[in-house]
Amino acid sequence: MSSRVLYAKPSITELEIRYATDAVTNGWGDKCYEYIQKFETMFKQHLGVKYAISTSSCTGALHLGLAGLGIGPGDEVIMADTNWIQSAAPIIQLGAKPVFVDILADTWCLDPVKVKAAITPRTKAILAVHLYGNLCDMDALLAVAEPHGIAVIEDTAQGIGSVYKGKRAGSIGRFGVFSFHGTKTITTGEGGMFVTNDDALYEKVFTLSNQGRARGETRQFWSNTVGLKYKMANVQAAIGCAQMERVETLIKRKRGIFFSYFNLLKTIDCLQMNPISDVPETQPGYWMPTVVFDKKLNFDPYKFLETLKQNNIDGRVFFYPLTMMPMFEAKKENVVSYDLYNRAINLPSYFEISEDGIKRVVDVIANLIKEKTRSSVAV
């Protein structure tokens, strides 16, 4: 059988191993934060922001940021229905309510018109998730939010490498959060980052992240408030430092994988892929190349995953609308969200995937479309 085509796998080199080994060997005592501080500095310089706080997960970073904004019971946060559950989880854990609106059919990100219609006196934030590295229309969202004094937050868990009008995704809103899960473009195994340019918000989040201990407090074990603990380990940060030294190479490779798929698939009818922006200085990061099949093909994502598996290829389904899940009230008026999930697949995009591996995936897609088209003609 041909070699397995993985859907995701990090790019780990001798550099990451060397830094991690140094952290394990020497990163203790008064050196226990050295790689953490270095990683935060490298990340904020890459992003062009004033502040960065590393965390144990993107979920933790989002929880800290929302808490820093004072979001709590009775408040509402508008977000896209098509999402991973952890974008909504911290909102609920703080006692606030996620308000789910529909997405745009081309970017699969928040529809600004739907966002505007969903604003109420209780709305405290808009959560802009750059899904699969695609980009939200940040100018439109900021314009909707500004008259109401609403914070626009960027969930950039999947958006490292994405650039919006010359600004890196995550650096535009009131704050941004990132994921370094093992599937992401930059990884520390698990981990996340909170970033902001807001001085006052940074101080609040710093205190919360430091278990309630304010900067400059001289009393040992004295907390000024009840805080949280989402700290990143020094050894994780060491891996992150190595990844940041290679960040442009990793981003370039992700884009290269997407365009290898795009160039092979663009002549095949009945498919849509991640958008290619025509806005100046705007470029998606293409974390996860994705295909959406035409409605007339009557596509079944789980049958297709089984076909991929038979060819020793991995894949992933598209995100479900969150309001389909039992903990939320259904919102079938979110027609794009309720349509896309059942006819889309995330394609393998690990860093070492070969052109032959990409061609194998494309051949399975092409054969499926031929079979579906033949069946529809026969009927």
Q: Where are the domains of the chain?
A: 14-245, 247-378
- Collapse the DSSP code of 124 into the 3-class scheme (helix H, G, I; strand E, B; otherwise coil) and give the result: strand
Q: Identify the pLDDT of residue 240.
A: 98
- In this structure, the chain runs to a length of 379
Q: Identify the pLDDT of residue 43.
A: 98
**Backbone φ, ψ for residue 332 (5° rounding):** -70, -10
| 49, 55, 57, 60: CA torsion to nearest 10 | -90
Catalytic residues: 184
Does the domain formed by 14-245 have CATH 2.120.10.30? Answer: no
| Alpha-carbon span 194 to 55, nearest angstrom | 7
98 has a pLDDT exceeding 90: yes
Q: Which two tokens stand for residue 200?
A: 């006052």
376 has a pLDDT exceeding 60: no
Confidence of residue 279 (pLDDT cuts 50, 70, 90): confident
Architecture category of domain 247-378 in CATH:
Alpha-Beta Complex (3.90)
Which of 100, 179, 54, 23 is CA-nearest to residue 337?
100
355 has a pLDDT exceeding 50: yes
User: How crowded is the C-beta side of 55, counted as CA atoms within 13 Å?
Assistant: 29
Confidence of residue 379 (pLDDT cuts 50, 70, 90): very low
166-200 pLDDT, tens digit per residue, is: 999 999 999 999 999 999 999 999 999 999 999 99
* Beta-sheet strands, E only, within the chain: 51-55, 76-80, 97-101, 123-129, 151-155, 163-164, 167-168, 175-179, 192-196, 271-273, 290-293, 316-317, 344-346
372 has a pLDDT exceeding 90: no
230-245 pLDDT, tens digit per residue, is: 999 999 999 999 999 9
